[in-house]
Structure 1
């Protein structure tokens, strides 16, 4: 079953038309129809809304686990459904001991310089949370539950690997360059997701998979404070 088919299942579970479903998650009926036709992928705001209503994002994006995942029971529209906000899902705390983990979705606000030899982001603002199964994080991603952040791919720089709007999970346990890979980082006040590779002279190569539109950039060693690493990308969810 595809992501689109699972979105159809969610809509039918709620007993809504495509127009009403779109209104429910803050998009037009046509946009929701495009999700179901696989002409578009739901962005982070739509996924966060579905998570806030108790749908398991691990199930929505991968098909693993249960649709509802033990979240708050929802009534159908005909039975008088009442809206639930993201905070009302939080029976499991962020990084808590429950079956599900609420991973914070962050935006970057204030950037500071180098601290303790690491390029860090001093202040991050939580927009909302997305629910994932604890066993998926620990068994499949093989990482801790308190060090993950979710971000939305901000542009098409990493196409075809990632699409704009894809949800990415980044491991922030050690926010520094740990070999070449795809990293979430900030530079010039903007959030970016690109490949980083350390050069032999201590400099850095920043490259995009969409190299035609975004040519590689070389950053010299004495200019590394331009790059504030948030974490390394270890998972993506979105349209395949």
Structure 2
């Protein structure tokens, strides 16, 4: 029995190490990956530490994020997995109280990005070259999006429509907000959190605001 326990511990540790490496390859923080597959940060930590073994439901959801299951479970790399997934670049965003880091030319820095299944993107008619991932910062969209949430942004859809969430660049900030076009070229910018007042921007008289794209999915949906 003792030898069996040692073998089991060794097996779990190997799976945990490979699980951690795969999560990092996909560009997820530990808490974010756990949330995406429906477990707590503590459970994710225990899986990676080898203290617990992931169940089938967890592994199925992890595979949908781009995790190489064959590698995690067996230690053998699935060379075909790269053909089924594509990396979407990430941009750092803050919804309030600060500015995102910018390059010398004023463009936001790209982070490592996240991997998405090509089938998942095609089913939603999303073109990978036009997508980016944004991490929400702040509380202005609470009840819909929360601090630390990651959202997928379609940069092809830049014409604001009522009821949809968009990523905006205003000056040196990236904002995640509800947007609506009003008569006369006025853009109304609204937060989900009622503590933040709505405001209007006259697009004809400013070059300080740009619609980056529409939020088409959040961390909880992929």
TM interval, shorter chain, is 0.5 to 0.7
**Is 1:132 matched with 2:116?**
yes
What's the TM-score once normalised by structure 2's chain length?
0.61
CA deviation after TM superposition for structure 1 residue 163, in Å:
0.7
Contact 2:65 2:117 in 1 (8 A): no
| 3-state secondary structure, aligned to 2:207 | helix
CA deviation after TM superposition for structure 1 residue 102, in Å:
0.7
- The structure that has the greater radius of gyration is 2
What's the TM-score once normalised by structure 1's chain length?
0.57
Match of 2:210 among 212, 228, 232: 228
In structure 1, runs of 5+ residues without a counterpart are 1-9, 17-24, 51-58, 80-88, 93-97, 113-121
Contact 2:170 2:210 in 1 (8 A): yes
Contact 2:170 2:209 in 1 (8 A): yes
Cα distance in 2 for partners of 1:236, 1:222 equals 31
**Is 1:70 matched with 2:84?**
no
Cα distance in 2 for partners of 1:11, 1:155 equals 36
CA deviation after TM superposition for structure 1 residue 11, in Å:
9.0
| 3-state secondary structure, aligned to 1:129 | strand
Moved more, 103-112 or 128-137: 103-112
1:171 corresponds in structure 2 to: 154
CA deviation after TM superposition for structure 1 residue 227, in Å:
1.3
| 3-state secondary structure, aligned to 1:179 | coil
In structure 2, runs of 5+ residues without a counterpart are 1-11, 19-27, 49-56, 93-99
- For these two proteins, the number of residue pairs brought into alignment is 174
Deviations 1:12-69 (A, max 9, x none): 94179xxxxxxxx888xxx89x9797589x9xxx9xxx9xxxxxxxx97x93745764
Match of 2:201 among 216, 219, 222: 219
